[in-house]
Amino acid sequence: MIKQINFLFVTFFGIGKIKKIPGSFASLATTFFLFFLFHILNLSPNIILISLIFVFFISLYAVNVFIKDLDNKDPKEVVIDEFIGQSIPICLYEIAHEGTKETNQIFIFYFIMFILFRIFDIVKPYPVSYYEKNFKNSFGVIMDDVCAGLYVVAVLVLYMVFNS
């Protein structure tokens, strides 16, 4: 039972078992899920950010348990790292822009954040690649996506600085 719950957690409820591009599907599902939490349920960005930090720490343990007996220490079915990485720019965007926003603006920024995250996660510029290559454990699996998410934040901050 615990093993099945862990499997559902690290594969983001089975999304990681999708044959082609499971990371992209997990990132897309995360984007829709967060839109639902922020704009349909109107949950506080701070509560969601605290929950994300909680998920991060649980993931460190859960992914280690999942990959313990595997040769491949970063299997493609583990997509909780995509959930965490994709959530970082969206949560920080919502915190920075708390209040009413036009729906078109939200859709545009969510789409941009999704595309940028996928680019950084696939291309893996330094230090994204550093974590993937040098840490063959849950820390490496998760931190490369955290770095990719932080790259998205950096790009959006630069965009906002130069457009204001």
Signed CA dihedral, 147, 158, 33, 16: sign only: negative
pLDDT of residue 44: 93
pLDDT of residue 124: 92
Residue length, the chain? 164
- What mean pLDDT do residues 113-131 have? 94
Domain count, the chain: 1
Q: Is the pLDDT of residue 70 over 90?
A: no
In percent, the amount of the chain with pLDDT more than 70 equals 100
Taking Cα atoms as reference points, which of 83, 93, 81 lies closest to residue 45?
93
Q: Is the pLDDT of residue 100 over 80?
A: no
pLDDT of residue 21: 97
Q: Is the pLDDT of residue 33 over 80?
A: yes
Span 50-60, pLDDT tens digits:
999 999 999 99
Find all residues with CB under 8 Å of 45, minimum gap 6, and list them: 38, 91, 94, 95, 98
Supply the mean pLDDT for the chain: 94
- What mean pLDDT do residues 34-57 have? 96
Taking Cα atoms as reference points, which of 157, 155, 127, 148 lies closest to residue 85?
148
Count of Cβ atoms closer than 10 Å to residue 112 Cβ: 16
For residue 88, what are the domain limits? 2-162
pLDDT of residue 13: 96
